[in-house]
Chain A
Amino acid sequence: MVSLLQACGVVKRVGRGRASSEVLAGVDLDVQEGELVAVLGRSGSGKSTLLHLLGGLDRPDAGSITLAGQSLLGCSQRELTRIRLRRIGFVFQSFQLIEEMSGEENVLLPAGLPGAPPGGALRARNLIEELGVGAVASHLPHELSGGEQQRFAIARALVNEPALVLADEPTGNLDSVAARDLLAILRGLTAAGRSVIMVTHERDVAGAADRVLEMVDGRLR
């Protein structure tokens, strides 16, 4: 197994002065290629903050994060944008599909951005079919069920063939059947060599992962 992502001594503080507190107090993490890692923790424990740091959406106050041998800390905003475009896919808790775009258009969106790998349209069509939402591809988000919305969100995360998929509470808005289907999809991603990190507060959801890490007092156990 080859290490894809390494985080070492990651610290993140929020607030200033006396109101300042450490959300992450020295997190260490090593994720291998093709591994599904679940980060379990209570609400407000810092799971989402860790996910944002790992995805280059935010910067840590201390520590280091390395993705495929490249340190995220030394990157400019432009380089971080490029990394997010080509190497990282995000699945958000509330899907975050753009309301004015159909499911298919949402999937196509990252593929149309400057610097995206070519062939996005074909990949988007294939992903939509593979995830079983081809029949509703032209529907707007509010015309879709929660499970369908989440599948489009996953397709959007995968359309540029990222090495790492970060999923924030991916089953949070789904019923039990849809949640089970989603976990199967995430599991399938690792089979294709992608690494997946999902954060959740549900222990049975975390149980589907290769490895479960628990966030307690700003550290991973």
Chain B
Amino acid sequence: MLATAAVVGYGLHTGFQRSARGADLPNVIARFDRQPLSRVAPRIEALPDLAAFAFRLEVTNVDLIGGAHRSREGVVEVLSPGRRGFDLLAGRELSVRPGEAIVEQGVARSWGLRLGSRLLLDGLGALRVVGIAESPDNVAFPLAAPRIYLSRPALDARFGVERDPQVNVAELWLKDPRQLDQVLGQARASSYGLRGLRVITRDGVRVLLDQAAGIVIALLVALSAIALLTAAVMLGASARAEVERRLAGIGVRRAIGAGRAHIALTHAVEAAIVSIPAGGLGVGVGYLVARGPSDRLLEAINELPPGVGLLAPLAGCWALTALIPVLASGWPALRASRRPPIALMRGAELGGRRGGRSLLGRVRLGGNLVGLAALGARLVSARRVRLLATLAVLGVSVGFILLMLALASELNTLQSDPGSLGKRYQLTASLPAAAVPQVRRLSGIAAVAPRYEVQALDSFSLGETIDLIGYPGDHTIFEAPPLVSGHRLGSDSGAEVGRGLAQVLGLRPGSTVAVELPSGHEARFRVAGIVDSLQHDGRVVYVSSRALLASEPSAQEQLAVRLSAGASPVAVTRRLAALGAKPKATGGATDRGRSLIAALTAILRAVAIVDGLVCIYALIQALFLTARERRSTIAVLRACGADAGAVRVLLGGAAVAAVAPAALIGVLLERFVLGPAMARLAIGYASLELSAGSGEIAAVLAGLAVLAAAAVLWVARQAGREPIVVALS
């Protein structure tokens, strides 16, 4: 578990920096609507502190065929001479010869393309793959569209030199990345007239990826801590039992003059002889198990695997796994050797056994199966420290399993449920506002209104874009993100602002938000209220459509369609299509990253399963150690006529004593500690309810009960195999 966490966690944590360095990723990537190079180049050249720059033409929705695969959403990057900003994993650079292409590694892997393979590109015909690339500025195919790179000189050689080629991407490398703010400010000042400008920095890419990877890393670290705690507690208990078994031998050695340190050292060395190879084996197995999925995950997000860099964390894991048993053996031996040799030779105990000081106290045991189960509970609770540790391990594990299931469910909801954005309309239709009365007459429709949306930039700092949304009249009929402060939109000069944007710009009700629209005009609105919105990280502004259209008449227009209760979306979609609209189902907050979310959800569920394995390990260990220590008790029971079923009832009582409180701890931990903490970690710009539902809790508790039953059956079977006379002796 530790090695698995190290492989995945280290790989994800360091992946971006490694890949960005390898790919020579630009400090700034600016995308804009297609422009002649002559119009953009002077503005870029005038920027301060530039080490280099390069231009590309990015063509999207291209028909691309590779082998038996085809995509109509291909992306072709036409590279001008200069630095390229991606890593070449195999093959060579593009030459000036026509018919050559470099493919992104995700495409090569998914489509089975190798160096020399042929690609068919709509309009260009056959291309030969001469290189395979990795670019960490975006995730890989199939999480993103398939991407290939072509050389502009090669295109010029085939079609003739273009006098003033079109470009829509500029890559900037700075001499001093610390000057990024000044460069961005200067770029902002000189960007007027460039429509559709979107800028992302190298740090911006890293932050986006870290947000996704950070949750996985945090969960893996927490799981490793649980696994380590479990292993430490169980190894400690096991070592203690072993020392107890060998007390007479320790007494003899003390009697013939062995010192305490010598005895402790002997036990520690014995443990090391086992733990060093066993730890190495465990770390090796963990590495082998995790390396494949981890590398695939890194490939999926276009990052490089860590390679030899992983040696140091794995060595640390090995040292830790070897050290724990050494300490767990040496310490009880040192403690035991404090006793007088004669007491040790008589088989004295390490202490804490007699006296019935169990956590259950002196609960009266009935003379029936319930009494037997209660005895089991009392046996396991007699080892108070171990029981508390087991409760902690199981409780935290249950809490994390619930958290991961809640996270996976929340991700699914965010992905598929428009309600997660406060959206109350289910369909959009590409029809003009004039078609509203016609659409309203269709059956199955509760409300319809034109919805206008435009991407703007805030006027004070260059960065992420802002979604400006406008409705005529009350927008809460169609979109009602929860109001955090202030009041709803009441006039054309007012705006409801998403909390994400309010946090970035320090906005409050009464403040003014100024945005730069694609047309180059600036619009100012008074903040009426702050709303909780997950759309676009909360960088959203609701205004009246009249105010929006006054500043940006070309705002994207579509109809928002809210269905009547019980209406079939399929039937309404058909009716809308009959009017000539292109109806589209409304997506959730993460609709654009559906594949990545699916991958993350799968990882979370897989980690939950691993956590479940930690649970069963902790349970089996706790029961096994109890059965081992109390073998004479079980033997007496069997000698008195207890059958295998009675032994199972006894151990079942022990399991219930550990599982029932742990389940309660886990549920409370998730509900009141882990869920809120993770919600704050994941999204700081909105209130996210991250708590497991009753179905998930019931499923986890049922799973825990099954695990406990399996552990009881296995341990009871082991206990039943030991001859009674051996256990009695």
Residues of A within 8 A of B (CB): 49, 52, 55, 57-58, 78, 81-82, 84-86, 90, 92, 96, 98-101, 105, 108-116, 120-121, 124, 140, 142, 156, 160
Given contacts A84-B641, A105-B365, A112-B366, contact A96 B632 (CB under 8 A): yes
Q: How far apart are B70's CB and chain A's nearest CB, in angstroms?
A: 67
Q: How far apart are A18's CB and chain B's nearest CB, in angstroms?
A: 22
Q: Is B642 an interface residue (CB 8 A)?
A: yes
With a cutoff of 8 Å between Cβ atoms, the chain A residues found around residue B724 in the complex are 52, 57-58
Given contacts A112-B369, A113-B641, A115-B641, contact A99 B375 (CB under 8 A): no
Please name 19 pairs of A and B residues whose Cβ atoms are closer than 8 Å in the assembled complex, sorted by A.
A57-B723, A90-B639, A92-B639, A96-B728, A100-B375, A100-B382, A101-B375, A105-B367, A108-B365, A109-B640, A110-B641, A112-B368, A112-B369, A112-B372, A113-B643, A114-B646, A115-B641, A124-B367, A156-B640
Do B369 and A114 touch across chains, with their CB atoms under 8 A apart?
A: yes
Q: How far apart are A72's CB and chain B's nearest CB, in angstroms?
A: 14
The number of inter-chain residue pairs (CB within 8 angstroms) is: 99
Do B371 and A108 touch across chains, with their CB atoms under 8 A apart?
A: yes
Q: Which residue of A lies closest to B639 (CB)?
A: A90
Q: How far apart are A210's CB and chain B's nearest CB, in angstroms?
A: 25
For the complex of A and B, list the 7 residue pairs with the smallest distance between their C-beta atoms, beginning with the closest.
A85-B641, A108-B367, A112-B367, A110-B640, A112-B368, A84-B641, A100-B378
Q: Give the docked Cα–Cα distance between A86 and B642 (Å).
A: 11
Residues of B within 8 A of A (CB): 353-356, 358, 364-369, 371-372, 375, 378-379, 382, 632-633, 636-643, 645-646, 723-725, 728
Q: How far apart are A98's CB and chain B's nearest CB, in angstroms?
A: 5
Do B371 and A100 touch across chains, with their CB atoms under 8 A apart?
A: no
Do B356 and A140 touch across chains, with their CB atoms under 8 A apart?
A: yes
Do B643 and A99 touch across chains, with their CB atoms under 8 A apart?
A: no
With a cutoff of 8 Å between Cβ atoms, the chain A residues found around residue B364 in the complex are 105
With a cutoff of 8 Å between Cβ atoms, the chain B residues found around residue A55 in the complex are 639
Do A113 and B640 touch across chains, with their CB atoms under 8 A apart?
A: yes
Q: Give the docked Cα–Cα distance between A98 and B634 (Å).
A: 9
Q: How far apart are B380's CB and chain A's nearest CB, in angstroms?
A: 10
Do B646 and A52 touch across chains, with their CB atoms under 8 A apart?
A: no
- Seed contacts A81-B643, A112-B366, A112-B372; 12 additional CB < 8 Å A-B pairs: A57-B639, A58-B724, A58-B725, A84-B639, A85-B640, A90-B639, A92-B636, A99-B353, A99-B354, A109-B375, A111-B367, A114-B645
Q: How far apart are A199's CB and chain B's nearest CB, in angstroms?
A: 14
With a cutoff of 8 Å between Cβ atoms, the chain B residues found around residue A111 in the complex are 367
Q: Give the docked Cα–Cα distance between A110 and B371 (Å).
A: 11
Q: Which of A86, A90, A101, A156 counts the most chain B CB atoms within 10 A?
A: A101
B723 contact from A58, A100, A142, Cβ within 8 A: A58
Q: Give the docked Cα–Cα distance between A57 and B640 (Å).
A: 10
Q: Give the docked Cα–Cα distance between A33 and B133 (Å).
A: 93
Q: Which residue of B lies closest to A156 (CB)?
A: B640
Q: Which residue of A lies closest to B377 (CB)?
A: A100
Q: Give the docked Cα–Cα distance between A124 and B358 (Å).
A: 25
Q: Which residue of A lies closest to B353 (CB)?
A: A99
With a cutoff of 8 Å between Cβ atoms, the chain B residues found around residue A98 in the complex are 375, 633, 636
Do B367 and A109 touch across chains, with their CB atoms under 8 A apart?
A: yes
Do A92 and B728 touch across chains, with their CB atoms under 8 A apart?
A: yes
Q: How far apart are B722's CB and chain A's nearest CB, in angstroms?
A: 12
Do A105 and B354 touch across chains, with their CB atoms under 8 A apart?
A: no
Q: Give the docked Cα–Cα distance between A110 and B637 (Å).
A: 8
Q: How far apart are A202's CB and chain B's nearest CB, in angstroms?
A: 21
Q: Which residue of B lies closest to A57 (CB)?
A: B724
Q: Give the docked Cα–Cα distance between A96 and B642 (Å).
A: 15
Q: Give the docked Cα–Cα distance between A113 and B644 (Å).
A: 11
With a cutoff of 8 Å between Cβ atoms, the chain B residues found around residue A92 in the complex are 636, 639, 728
Q: How far apart are B631's CB and chain A's nearest CB, in angstroms?
A: 12
With a cutoff of 8 Å between Cβ atoms, the chain B residues found around residue A108 in the complex are 365-367, 371
With a cutoff of 8 Å between Cβ atoms, the chain A residues found around residue B365 in the complex are 101, 105, 108
With a cutoff of 8 Å between Cβ atoms, the chain B residues found around residue A90 in the complex are 639-640
Given contacts A52-B725, A100-B358, contact A113 B639 (CB under 8 A): no
Q: Give the docked Cα–Cα distance between A10 and B379 (Å).
A: 38
Q: How far apart are B373's CB and chain A's nearest CB, in angstroms?
A: 11
Q: Give the docked Cα–Cα distance between A49 and B724 (Å).
A: 12
Q: Give the docked Cα–Cα distance between A84 and B645 (Å).
A: 15
Q: Give the docked Cα–Cα distance between A119 and B355 (Å).
A: 30
Given contacts A96-B632, A98-B375, A100-B375, contact A116 B641 (CB under 8 A): yes
Do A112 and B355 touch across chains, with their CB atoms under 8 A apart?
A: no
Q: How far apart are B717's CB and chain A's nearest CB, in angstroms?
A: 13
Do B356 and A100 touch across chains, with their CB atoms under 8 A apart?
A: yes
A112 contact from B371, B382, B643, B728, Cβ within 8 A: B371
